[in-house]
Amino acid sequence: MATTTTLAKAAEGTEPAAYAARIEHVSKSFAGPAGQQLVLDDITLDVAPGEFVTLLGASGCGKSTLLNLVAGLDKPSAGGISTDGRPALMFQEHALFPWLTAGKNIELALRLRGVPKSERRDKAEELLELVRLKGAYGKRVHELSGGMRQRVAMARALAQESKLLLMDEPFAALDAITRDVLHDELTRIWRETKVSVLFVTHNVREAVRLAERVVLLSSRPGRVAREWTVGIPQPRRIEDTAVAELSVEITEELRGEIRRHGQH
């Protein structure tokens, strides 16, 4: 199958795109000591405009690889990926420039987007307020807590005004309380901005708490093993009974995938 990777942006005045991301029969192999190793195998998945989808699976199943392919950081070995505009990517590590203030980190993204210099300060301040960091414009990275750094990273990603936000385990390194607070913040921002989100995690409860749809990848090679539509009203709490019950069901399916592929 021919490989195609397309970043297609809807022109003004045209019909809205039918999807934020479309992944069609995507496979990815890497060279290894024993030859080519298949990491992803025939993945087909759409993310609708404004939809929040989580990718869930055991370590090494190819979740981050798939996210990097959607971001355009790598190319699939087979299949095609198209997105409605260029996605914004947020990593587990905040990746902020330590020599810049919180506001200047955001302004850098605005500058790369072509926003005039005269407008950048105001827009950076607006984004900081959106992530509830009003007044933090002049703070250096070392003055910010881990949770605050991730909020700045989120603001910087939103500064790109992408229709698709890709998030690779952005809260994994945070303590439970900070992670819980940022779950609330992300849900609020997603609902306010109507951005589409493709969120990678290995935490089942996190996946259920945040997503409208949970996609489980099998262990290597990663394939779509099963999907769940999460019909629990937002806002949700990680300790909610309905969240816990669906998490148990998904965890059992995940354990079955791990057993089937001989991983421990």
DSSP string, 40-100: EEEEEEEE-TT-EEEEE-STTSSHHHHHHHHHTSS--SEEEEEEESPPEEE-SS----TTS
Asked if residue 185 belongs to a domain, the reply is yes
Q: Domain span at residue 180?
A: 3-39+48-87+162-260
Domain closes at, from 161, 180, 195: 161
CATH number of the structural domain spanning residue 8: 3.40.50.300
Same-domain check for residues 8 and 139 = no
Helices and strands, counts by H and E, the chain: 7, 10
Domain closes at, from 138, 161, 184: 161
Beta bridge partners of 166: 89, 198
Same-domain check for residues 140 and 183 = no
Asked if residue 203 belongs to a domain, the reply is yes
Same-domain check for residues 188 and 240 = yes
Asked if residue 92 belongs to a domain, the reply is no
Asked if residue 251 belongs to a domain, the reply is yes
Burial of 122 (0-12, 13-18, 19+ CB in 10 A): exposed
Same-domain check for residues 182 and 67 = yes
pTM: 0.87
Same-domain check for residues 110 and 196 = no
The arrangement of strands across the sheet holding 52-56 comes to 88-90, 164-168, 196-201, 52-56, 213-217, 224-229
- The pLDDT of residue 62 is 87
- Dihedral angle sign, alpha carbons of residues 110, 23, 196, 8: positive
Question: Cα(127)–Cα(122) distance, rounded to whole angstroms?
Answer: 9
Q: What is the pLDDT along the chain (264 residues), one digit of tens a residue?
A: 344 444 444 334 456 678 999 999 999 998 877 778 889 999 999 999 999 999 998 877 889 999 999 999 999 999 999 999 999 998 777 688 889 999 999 999 899 888 888 899 999 999 999 988 898 999 998 999 888 998 899 899 999 889 999 999 988 888 889 889 899 999 999 999 999 999 999 899 999 999 999 999 998 788 999 999 999 998 899 889 999 999 999 999 988 887 776 654
DSSP-derived 3-state class of residue 148:
helix
Q: And the tokens for 226?
A: 């099963």
Asked if residue 156 belongs to a domain, the reply is yes
Same-domain check for residues 171 and 82 = yes
Asked if residue 212 belongs to a domain, the reply is yes
- Residue 4: how many other CB atoms lie within 10 Å: 13
Q: Please list, residue by residue across 154-183, b when 16 or more beta carbons sit within 10 angstroms of its beta carbon and e when fewer do.
A: bbbbbbbbbbbbbbbbbbeebeeebbbebb
- The pLDDT of residue 31 is 83
Same-domain check for residues 153 and 168 = no
Same-domain check for residues 82 and 113 = no
Same-domain check for residues 119 and 63 = no
Domain closes at, from 111, 142, 161: 161
Same-domain check for residues 79 and 180 = yes
Asked if residue 112 belongs to a domain, the reply is yes
Same-domain check for residues 83 and 33 = yes
CB 150 within 8 A of CB 91: no
The region that residue 197 occupies, defined by phi over 0 for left and psi between -120 and 50 for alpha, beta otherwise, is beta
Asked if residue 176 belongs to a domain, the reply is yes
Same-domain check for residues 139 and 15 = no
Question: Cα(30)–Cα(40) distance, rounded to whole angstroms?
Answer: 10
Q: How many domains does the chain have?
A: 2
